[in-house]
Chain A
């Protein structure tokens, strides 16, 4: 039932990310793990966020250098993301997925995704990225954590995300209005 509920959105996302769809189908067919489907969508989203965010000029070392996405998550999620990033690009730059560990420096990364499984050191991690031009993405069902810019939520079996503008501004990131338009909630807009 859940599978069926997830099937359609997953299929839609898969259509946008090419081969990922095939994997998801295969996974769905092989196991009923909703987590997998969920992360497949989230991985695809992560790969696309870069296109709707403008980083400060010094953030990008070179135009042809890979766009780094740091991941604090389980291996399955990392693998999922790596598969999703194949063939994808952010502003013409290829995506390089890097598995992070706590305390590891975040230099050179554009996006950091902190999975639910690694939420224990969330605040620490977020604080570490503070003052860095890094888009921080979390998945918290209890509202957007402080310091997080983008927070995945699942509403009615669909993956949605909220955006907090204040931390983004602090990090000199400009989030595109087009991304804001598809966000479930945008906070900090008044400031």
Chain B
């Protein structure tokens, strides 16, 4: 602002002063030049005229050789102080008369010059010849002050003074003008500056005149009015925008909050996902383990299956080669015993594996009912006692009284037998097994089986329920499948119970199972207790002459049945290689009983049965199914289809004979009736 202020002011002042200076200098210069020129010419003329006059005056003196008169003539110059010196020269150039003003140089040129005017050393020197009546009488020499330089100096001084005064006046005028012209402009500028600095658009500049400046101020004020209006509009719009921005900010905050929540949720989800990933990894690991277990299982199974087969096939081959290698009768009996034992073991193994497969496939069906423990204990004791006696192990069974558990009778028995057989097998010589029964809570009943064996290490306990893990007993002489405990555990859990073990090395092992207690159910509770195997007459049978049709595609099976029935002399055995032939032979021969393989080419057992049942001639003939399918479902289905009985392969000969006998008895009764 100061710069702006000073500048304009200085510029105006500068213009004014410069103009004035130029004007004054030019004017003064012209005047001085003119004056000097006039002075010079005038003075030269004056001095020349004076010289002429002197010449004329002194001409007679010269003519009549009167130097005194000439001097007197020259003395007239005394009244003209600027004439410094004068001289009259004669015709021959000699000095005739001289005049010197006071204090002036008295030197004269030795010879006169021609007519001339010259300036020498600040003096104006004039030579003029004296001519009178056509005769050259002599020369006048006149020396006068030539004050041109003094004049110049004087004039310069005056000019300086005048210039100073003019400048002063110009400065004053300029200041005055500045007040008139610049002040309004400056006030406009100042107001504009204040407006910019203070943002006060209501300011106006005071109008002082009606000239162009007034118009400028009017225009400025109008502009300010316009700006004020615009600014107000702009501010209003800005306020709107600020409000909008505020709203947006709030919205943004909300969005950010939502984002945070979302992020949190994402984190949670991620955590969940991670957890599920971990679960998945665990599951995968488990699956891998299971896979590995399955592989191990298969390899174990192969081993376990081949072991008994080794005995069966080996001794079978020895017996088959009896022709070349005679075998003593007692040795033969021992061989056969090994074969039977191996076969039984194989059967037990297959049963266990099937059980396990069923359990794992979820296909096992339990018929849960109230089972009296006393019954189960009794049955188990009966069944395990021979084994215990063989190993000289004492059995102690607690008296369960009227306690009942909610379980599947058969499976519970299976479980207990498994535990008991383990306890006997892995017991010490002359050890003991204690079966106890407690009721820790009203709802639960705990059955424990404790042995006096070598006990289990903790790592063994951990691996207890893995298939084919025989806990170091693989090399012992005790036969086992390694599946029993696995099946046991599954069965207990299926019955809603629990199984557990406490053991320490050298301290024996205690297995316990917890089952739900239940109220005693009197009806049929002892129905199956009659299951004591009736002694089967392998040879005699019913003694009734009868015809049995065996429909079987497997020649070995046919041979086995033939061998089994060799002793039954009253039974005529017919065989048919498949269902088709079997059905026709049944129609033709009308046998008393039909043994039918279930799984045959051309016509299956079931379909053949339907055909037989559809034919009045054969509808009454009892049909006994022989099948390798030992699944309870299959058995049940077959029984519903109308089979008289169901025999599973491998065929237990006593069972076969027993069922056959009962069927023959039924047939005979029908015949007689």
Footprint of B on A, CB under 8 Å?
9, 11-13, 15-16, 41, 45, 48, 51-52, 89, 91, 158-161, 176, 178-179, 181-182
Contact = CB atoms under 8 A, between A and B. Distances in A.
Interface residues of B, number: 20
A24 to B, nearest CB: 13
Interface stretch (B57-65, B217-225, B322-330): B57-65
Interface of B: 57, 59-66, 69, 73, 90-92, 96, 132-135, 137
6 contacts: A51-B132, A51-B133, A182-B60, A182-B61, A182-B64, A182-B69
A16 B91 contact: yes
A182 B92 CA distance: 21
Given A45-B64, A159-B65, A181-B73, 15 more contacts: A9-B65, A12-B90, A16-B62, A16-B91, A16-B137, A52-B60, A89-B133, A91-B133, A176-B60, A178-B60, A181-B60, A182-B60, A182-B61, A182-B64, A182-B69
Contacts of B69: 181-182
A11 B92 CA distance: 9
Contacts of B73: 181
B133 A182 contact: no
B60 A16 contact: no
Nearest to B67: A12
A146 B309 CA distance: 221
A16 B96 contact: no
Contacts of A12: 65, 90, 96
B111 to A, nearest CB: 14
Given A178-B60, A182-B66, A15 B91 contact: yes
A44 to B, nearest CB: 9
A161 B63 CA distance: 13
Contacts of A181: 57, 60-61, 69, 73
Nearest to B64: A182
B61 to A, nearest CB: 5
A91 B91 CA distance: 21
B65 A41 contact: yes
Nearest to B135: A16
Contacts of B65: 9, 12-13, 16, 41, 158-159
Q: Which 7 A-B residue pairings sit nearest by Cβ, starting from the closest?
A: A15-B91, A178-B60, A12-B65, A182-B66, A182-B64, A182-B60, A51-B133
Nearest to A12: B65
Contacts of A16: 62-63, 65, 90-91, 135, 137
Contacts of A160: 66
Contacts of B137: 16
B90 A48 contact: no
Contacts of A159: 65
Contacts of B60: 52, 176, 178-179, 181-182
A181 B71 CA distance: 12
B114 to A, nearest CB: 18
